[in-house]
Structure 1
């Protein structure tokens, strides 16, 4: 399992660097201001409006950096909260809204939903190369139905265990395609980070993202 990291840590590092630079620049400016005030020509004093303007600019920058620091703290806290939430899924049974389902111990199980008006329903099992390895007729009755595949391909051989894609195609009496849904249940065995997002590893050999988990037990 890789170390969970994210944007907040990078933002905080940049903010610390900006704060250090601001402190250094402010001290340099104040030393320069003091030196110029000490050595100014009494007959031609420096315009006080100019000094006030420059001080105001420094003050605005300082406030902006301080605000960024607070935002970085909030992001860091949110990230930590999400990390703790992700870890809490390990060992739990989750229901996933995904067409990718795993064949494990000679069994692939899923649930598909059919809308009103379906006349015909066909189920297709595709391998990792996108090839149809098996097919079956589904139930056109509106509602949710269970589907199980024992790994037997259309040629009578046994498919290897792993991830497969289940396609559900429903059509009405006019052969018009209808929208269907597919979910499956599996246990979370681990998590990892990919491109800044959490990936949940499931015990059926598949993976899923946080947004695809619709229920957990």
Structure 2
């Protein structure tokens, strides 16, 4: 007597992942055009004008694709070149348009400013991170020219301010009482370069960042800010506050 043992068969299903594209490229366009020619009705062939129009569309698509590719390459190359240019500033002391100072371990960075005309009254206002004035330093009268200013790092009450970044705006009036525009520059040693939203920034040793495009002068290789400026008519403005 023979016994037949039941056998079990396992079927394996293979899963195929299909990716559907929602856009057409040059290859898709020409494939569609060739398919139209291959399967057109011999008794009703494609109109010559329609054929020419589709060829023009294909040519335009190819041209736009090439332009887009060229622009992408150009932007990428330009960004790389700009970052490379920014890297040349690393280790150097620079001046840049700006309106802030840093306090670090009791050391305050130097602010440089220019007056386009003589002023009879000038004041440096120091701001905290909330935008409140914590100190006003009288500068007095100044002639037309370039100057440097160093804050002593203390508030109006004479308290030493914590390390950090503070805003500074110098306000000035001429003899007629009219406001005079004061152009200020910050200084610092560059330690790095970064790119953000298409803009290149230089990172300074004290933690601040400045736009590469706003750099106005390379002072030279240095390890800290210098309070002396060859271009300054004053060696340094007084930064002491009166109680």
Q: Is the 8 A contact 2:123 2:172 kept in 1?
A: yes
Structure 2 unaligned spans of 5+? 1-21, 221-243
Q: How many residues align?
A: 196
Secondary structure class of the residue paired with 1:205: coil
Displacement of 1:45: 4.5
Secondary structure class of the residue paired with 1:73: helix
146, 161, 171: which is aligned to 2:163? 161
RMSD, matched Cα:
2.2
Aligned to 1:59: 59
Normalised to the residue count of structure 2, the TM-score between the two structures is 0.72
Displacement of 1:130: 1.9
Aligned to 2:235: none
Q: Deviations over 1:32-86 (max 9, x none)?
A: 21332xx512xx5543233222222222222221222222222221122112122
210, 217, 222: which is aligned to 1:215? 217
Aligned to 2:150: 148
Counterpart-to-counterpart distance in 1, 2:117 and 2:45: 86
Q: Deviations over 1:132-182 (max 9, x none)?
A: 222222242211112112212221211112211121111012321111111
Larger relative helix fraction: 1
Aligned to 1:21: 25
Q: Which runs of 4+ in 1 moved over 6 A?
A: none
Structure 1 unaligned spans of 5+? 1-16
Counterpart-to-counterpart distance in 1, 2:25 and 2:170: 59
Structure showing greater Rg: 2
Counterpart-to-counterpart distance in 2, 1:56 and 1:135: 69
Aligned to 1:8: none
Q: Is the 8 A contact 1:123 1:135 kept in 2?
A: yes
Aligned to 1:49: 49
